[in-house]
A and B are shown apart, each in its own frame.
Chain A
Amino acid sequence: MKMEPITATPLLRVDNLTKRYGSRIGCADVSFDLWPGEVLGIVGESGSGKSTLLSCLAGHLTPDEGQVIFDTAGGPRDVLRMTEPERRRLSRTDWAFVHQNPRDGLRMGVTAGGNVGERLMAVGARHYGDIRDRATDWLGRVEIAAERIDDRPTAFSGGMQQRLQIARNLVTGPRLVFMDEPTGGLDVSVQARLLDLLRGLVREMGLSAIIVTHDLAVVRLLADRLMVMKSGRVVEQGLTDQVLDDPQHPYTQLLVSSVLQV
């Protein structure tokens, strides 16, 4: 059951966001609010603008129009008007980004412990023993044996690498997590295990997250709310169960039915 938000300020308020690649539309006129503790799923076919939108939100791409208002510790701020140092500070404290390919989100030449510890050190941790204890704890939480702490990610399976990437991102307790196809590229059984793990973490930590995927099973399991994109635009949004069980837009109906056929 979803509770009504108690706070009056959304964690993230996105207003008419548009990003073009030359004359081609990446995403257009996207607006939504994300409330604290809420998980938003973004689905849509390949090329519908999911990654473009996520990159604009996380500050990796500069949109052409619109606003992204984040409720910082000092009150709501337009992320797009922040200086680069402010935005980079935000992305290693309040935000986290889980890439589809763990190689993009991990340092492959650094041990698992070093990967998890990096964000701690980036925000000033200077006690080796403490950093190691927290890394060990987090490896446990993503079901990686403590004895693997000094191994490099190159010695890990794809599923383990993805779990390590998640640990590395969550160790500093971010307030907002962006994930682009976190279960993509993994075998089905590995995906299922990762999903269970993510669901546990989301509940336990009360995470606010935006998850891009084209896998409806992922949103069914993780997302409170769902946004359906087509050709760069949002065609439908609402509570996940409502959208999946009673889709209004023809494209969503197609999306849902094609899944049911699988």
Chain B
Amino acid sequence: MTDQSYNFAYLDEQTKRMIRRAILKGIAVPGYQVPFASREMPMPYGWGTGGVQVTAACLTPEDRLKVIDQGADDTTNAVSIRKFFQRTAGVATTEATAEATLIQTRHRIPEHPLTEDQILVYQVPIPEPLRFLEPRETETRKMHSLEEYGLMHVKLYEDIARHGSIATSYAYPVKVEGRYVMDPSPIPKFDNPKLGDCPALQLFGAGREQRIYALPPHTQVVSLDFDDHPFQATKAPHDCDLCGASESYLDEVIVDDAGNRMFVCSDTDFCRSRREAGHAGRLTMQEAAE
């Protein structure tokens, strides 16, 4: 049931228009961080209020919403955001990536390929990729406007100097259409190749930092690297123990007090649909044999 004491999707129409203008500007200048007047939402900042505001500004009554947190539909964060929009917008929801028209995500891009009929909304904690080495906001803005990005490579240099290889494994910086350097939010670098040439519209919302940025469909996105240390989209060298998938991003889970581990798809919908289609992994085959 929709809660009638709120406007559709909680935010009032003026606020949604303001956010949409920021989104349109972001789409017009891919990778550029557009400031917007972030509103108080009835949830703490760490819960993705930037993503929630972008979602609220994009939702229509016909949409089918999916919300994931680290790839899972059933974490507290994902469940409460989904419920929030069920209550305030009355929209249909789904856990199936292929059926969703709008997907709000934290820390992952779904495994199932996205289409041009979909919008992917990212929750972003820190939108500024240069923040790590240059804390002054006035200076980072200038660096973006003048395309002074040497500092990003200093960060990667430091990684290699300390760890022997580029150890940054999430929030891995990218260059968009040969112009803006962008933080893709804390997705694993395994997901970086999916950012580029993606048919879906990708929107990024940072609530506390009051920034929105965007990747329109089929945007060129390149992960930064060195000639002699090229970017690699790594994952754990295993197959999923539940569905046997070899190409999906895996979470390592400790299963008992003896410290036994298993590797499972972080994308719960992807894993379940593979199992429903008859695929099996190491553990499901053991169980079947017992």
A128 pairs with B133, CB closer than 8 A: no
Q: Specify which chain A residues have a CB less than 8 angstroms from the CB of B153 in the assembled complex.
A: 121, 125-126
Q: How far, in whole Å, are A111 and B161 apart by their CA atoms in the complex?
A: 8
Q: Does B150 contact A (CB under 8 A)?
A: yes
Q: Does B40 contact A (CB under 8 A)?
A: no
Q: Does B157 contact A (CB under 8 A)?
A: yes
CB-contacts of B126-179 with A (<8 A):
133, 142, 146, 148, 150-151, 153-154, 157-158, 160-162
B175–chain A nearest beta-carbon distance, Å? 12
A121 pairs with B150, CB closer than 8 A: yes
A92–chain B nearest beta-carbon distance, Å? 8
A260–chain B nearest beta-carbon distance, Å? 46
A150 pairs with B157, CB closer than 8 A: no
A88 pairs with B154, CB closer than 8 A: no
A128 pairs with B148, CB closer than 8 A: no
Which of A97-105, A112-120, A176-184, A239-247 forms part of the interface with chain B?
A112-120
A118 pairs with B227, CB closer than 8 A: no
Q: Specify which chain A residues have a CB less than 8 angstroms from the CB of B158 in the assembled complex.
A: 110-111, 114
B133 pairs with A107, CB closer than 8 A: yes
Q: Specify which chain A residues have a CB less than 8 angstroms from the CB of B154 in the assembled complex.
A: 107, 110, 114, 117-118, 121
Q: How far, in whole Å, are A92 and B151 apart by their CA atoms in the complex?
A: 12
Q: How far, in whole Å, are A107 and B226 apart by their CA atoms in the complex?
A: 21
Known: A88-B146, A88-B148, A122-B148. A127 touches B226 (CB 8 A): yes
Q: How far, in whole Å, are A109 and B154 apart by their CA atoms in the complex?
A: 11
Q: How far, in whole Å, are A114 and B155 apart by their CA atoms in the complex?
A: 8
Q: Does B276 contact A (CB under 8 A)?
A: no
Q: Does A123 contact B (CB under 8 A)?
A: yes
Q: How far, in whole Å, are A118 and B151 apart by their CA atoms in the complex?
A: 7
Q: Specify which chain A residues have a CB less than 8 angstroms from the CB of B157 in the assembled complex.
A: 113-114, 117, 121, 128, 131
Q: Specify which chain B residues have a CB less than 8 angstroms from the CB of A110 in the assembled complex.
A: 133, 154, 158
Q: Specify which chain A residues have a CB less than 8 angstroms from the CB of B228 in the assembled complex.
A: 127-129
Q: How far, in whole Å, are A73 and B154 apart by their CA atoms in the complex?
A: 27
A122 pairs with B161, CB closer than 8 A: no
Q: Which of B150, B161, B227 contacts A123 (CB 8 A)?
A: B150
A128 pairs with B160, CB closer than 8 A: yes
CB-contacts of A65-85 with B (<8 A):
84-85
Residue of A nearest to B146 (CB): A85
Q: Specify which chain B residues have a CB less than 8 angstroms from the CB of A149 in the assembled complex.
A: 161
Q: Specify which chain B residues have a CB less than 8 angstroms from the CB of A107 in the assembled complex.
A: 133, 154
Known: A88-B146, A88-B148. A114 touches B161 (CB 8 A): yes
Q: How many A-B contacts if CB must be within 8 Å? A: 56
Q: How far, in whole Å, are A127 and B161 apart by their CA atoms in the complex?
A: 13
Q: Does B229 contact A (CB under 8 A)?
A: yes
Q: Specify which chain B residues have a CB less than 8 angstroms from the CB of A127 in the assembled complex.
A: 226-228
Known: A113-B157, A150-B162. A122 touches B229 (CB 8 A): no
A244–chain B nearest beta-carbon distance, Å? 41
Q: Report which residue of B133, B148, B150 has the largest number of chain A beta carbons within 10 angstroms of its beta carbon.
A: B150
Q: Specify which chain B residues have a CB less than 8 angstroms from the CB of A111 in the assembled complex.
A: 158, 161-162
Q: How far, in whole Å, are A119 and B148 apart by their CA atoms in the complex?
A: 11
Q: Report which residue of A111, A118, A128, A149 has the largest number of chain B beta carbons within 10 angstroms of its beta carbon.
A: A128
Q: Specify which chain A residues have a CB less than 8 angstroms from the CB of B146 in the assembled complex.
A: 84-85, 88
Q: Specify which chain A residues have a CB less than 8 angstroms from the CB of B133 in the assembled complex.
A: 107, 109-110
Residue of A nearest to B225 (CB): A126
Q: How far, in whole Å, are A85 and B148 apart by their CA atoms in the complex?
A: 10
CB-contacts of A4-39 with B (<8 A):
none
B24–chain A nearest beta-carbon distance, Å? 27
Q: Which of B150, B160, B226 contacts A118 (CB 8 A)?
A: B150
Residue of A nearest to B152 (CB): A121
Q: Specify which chain A residues have a CB less than 8 angstroms from the CB of B160 in the assembled complex.
A: 128
B135–chain A nearest beta-carbon distance, Å? 10
B150–chain A nearest beta-carbon distance, Å? 3
Q: How far, in whole Å, are A123 and B147 apart by their CA atoms in the complex?
A: 11
Binding site for B on A (CB under 8 A): 84-85, 88, 92, 107, 109-111, 113-114, 117-119, 121-123, 125-129, 131-132, 149-150
The 9 closest A-B CB pairs, nearest first, are: A122-B150, A121-B153, A128-B226, A121-B150, A127-B227, A85-B146, A114-B158, A150-B161, A114-B154
Would you list 19 pairs from A and B whose C-beta atoms are within 8 A, ordered by A residue?
A: A85-B146, A92-B148, A107-B154, A110-B154, A110-B158, A114-B154, A114-B157, A114-B161, A118-B151, A119-B150, A121-B150, A121-B157, A122-B148, A122-B150, A123-B150, A126-B226, A127-B228, A128-B229, A149-B161
Other CB < 8 Å A-B pairs besides A114-B158, A125-B153, 20 of them? A84-B146, A88-B146, A88-B148, A107-B133, A110-B154, A111-B158, A114-B157, A114-B161, A118-B151, A118-B154, A121-B154, A122-B148, A122-B150, A122-B151, A127-B227, A128-B160, A128-B228, A128-B229, A132-B161, A150-B162
